[in-house]
Amino acid sequence: MNILAIESSCDETAVAIVRDGRQVLTDCIASQVDLHRIYGGVVPEIASRMHIEAIYGLADQALAQTGLTRSDLDAVAVTYAPGLIGAVLVGVNFAKAAALALDKPLIPVHHIRGHIAANYLAYPQLEPPFLCLVVSGGHTMIVDVRDYTDMQILGTTLDDAAGECFDKVGRVLGMPYPGGAAVDKAAQQGQSGKYDLPRSKPGANPYDMSFSGLKTASLNLIHHARQVGEDLDIPSLCASFTQAVSDTLVPRVVQALAQTGRKRLAAAGGVAANSRIRGDILKTAEALGVTVYLPPLKLCGDNAAMIGAQAYYEYLAGNVADMGLNAYATKSILGEAI
């Protein structure tokens, strides 16, 4: 089954064609990052306009690259939530028009389910059940993937997402947007024990997380050093910050592995590209005899191939939409309104 997949929830316009949920025939991305960098973050109105400009050409490019014709496509899938509403709407409207014109099923895909499914592309042998640590720019959660479309959220951040904090720290340090990759690079030259930063333990659920205290403490430390004219060891600050994020994530994952008895652990989302976090997950989980699945860096960030992968399993579960499909800025991974 050849699925044309569309992703436009943030600042990447992406179109892919994925066969049977596992085989990427083509994965086209038009990134807007350079444009938003001027403003230090994504400007939603600019993002929506750029998606409109890019999406038709990308879909044509996807077909041309595979040598397929429109009649070789069996379904159209699209990220319908969550994301910047204007941006998601561009993809949803394009997908609806394409499905109508091709007379093929329309498959709505939750963006975070797509991130999890990136692992199916990287690891053909991976099948649920497994545990997944989702760490992106907008979400941070530990998900028990019981089946392809049956998931349980064990814990989530109660405030900021991990990626949001990476971006904020990077921005205050004058690093280019999005800051995560630059903080990661700087941290590799620093000492993670140099600055004492908090690890919060919020609420009654041991799997819930909080990053806003860490973000505030990091920003206060930077501002204070500047005010008193103290030299900041930026690589060590980045390393200490990254270690605090990792120390918030990894022990919760370990506890969740113990509680669920899962023997497979995957990671998903842009922050799963972080070298320290990847290293800590690998070291810790493998010591427990757990098999670890870390998507290659290209599949950690936003792309449409992951949407095409999840779409196949949504289709098999009967999750198709009609022309009434809407876009949503927020929606839980379980499909509930939040």
* Residue among 62, 118, 271, 333 that touches ligand KG4 (CB under 6 A): 271
CA atoms within 13 A on the CB side of 280: 21
Nearer to ligand KG4, 99 or 294 (CB): 294
Residue 165 CB, nearest approach to ligand KG4 (Å): 8
Among 21, 91, 155, 180, binds ligand KG4 (CB under 6 A): 180
User: Nearest CA to 248 among 159, 148, 309?
Assistant: 159
Residue 178 binding target from ligand KG4, Zn ion, none, CB below 5 to 8 Å by type? ligand KG4
**265 and 135 Cβ atoms separated by less than 8 Å:** no
Judged by CB under 6 A, the residue of 27, 167, 208, 314 near ligand KG4 is 167
> Should residue 179 be labelled a site residue for ligand KG4 when binding is judged by CB under 6 A?
yes
308 binds, among Zn ion, ligand KG4, none (CB under 5 to 8 A by kind): none
Q: Decide: 104 and 3 in contact? Cβ < 8 Å.
A: no
Give the largest Cα separation in the chain, rounded. Answer: 66
164 binds Zn ion (CB under 5 A): no
Residue 259: CB minimum distance to ligand KG4, A: 26
Residue 142, strand partner residues: 133, 155
In angstroms, rounded to a whole number, what is the distance separating the alpha carbons of residues 256 and 239?
26
Pairing verdict, β 23-31 and 130-135: unpaired
Residue 86 and residue 44 in contact, taking contact as beta carbons nearer than 8 Å: yes
Bridge partners of 133, per DSSP, are 142, 267
According to CB under 6 A, which residues from 300 to 319 bind ligand KG4? 301-302
Given a contact cutoff of 8 angstroms between Cβ atoms, the answer to whether 218 and 169 are in contact is yes
What does the chain come to in residues? 338
230 Cβ neighbours under 8 A, 6+ residues apart: 224
Residue 310 interface partner, choices Zn ion, ligand KG4, none, CB cut-off 5-8 Å depending on type: none
CB nearer ligand KG4, residue 166 or residue 195:
166
* 302 touches Zn ion (CB under 5 A): yes
Q: Quick check: 178 binds ligand KG4 (CB under 6 A)?
A: yes
Within 74-133, which residues bind ligand KG4 (CB under 6 A)? Answer: 115
For ligand KG4, the binding residues in 272-301 under the rule CB under 6 A are 273-274, 301
136 binds Zn ion (CB under 5 A): yes
Can you tell me which of 105, 114, 138, 308 binds ligand KG4, judged by CB under 6 A? 138
- Work out what residue 24 binds among Zn ion, ligand KG4, none; the CB cut-off runs from 5 to 8 Å by kind: none
Q: Where are the alpha helices (DSSP H) in the chain?
A: 33-37, 44-66, 85-102, 111-122, 162-172, 179-187, 212-227, 234-260, 275-287, 297-300, 305-316
Phi (first) and psi of residue 19, to 5 degrees: -100, 125
Binding residue (CB under 6 A) for ligand KG4 from 86, 91, 155, 163 = 163
Counting contacts by CB under 6 A, is residue 166 touching ligand KG4?
yes
On whether the CB atoms of residues 265 and 281 are closer than 8 A, the answer is yes
Beta bridge partners of 6: 15, 78
Question: Which part of the chain contacts ligand KG4 (CB under 6 A), choosing from 221-229, 255-263, 267-275, 279-287?
Answer: 267-275
Binding site for ligand KG4 (CB under 6 A): 10, 115, 136-138, 163, 166-167, 178-181, 184, 269-271, 273-274, 301-302
Binding site for Zn ion (CB under 5 A): 136, 302
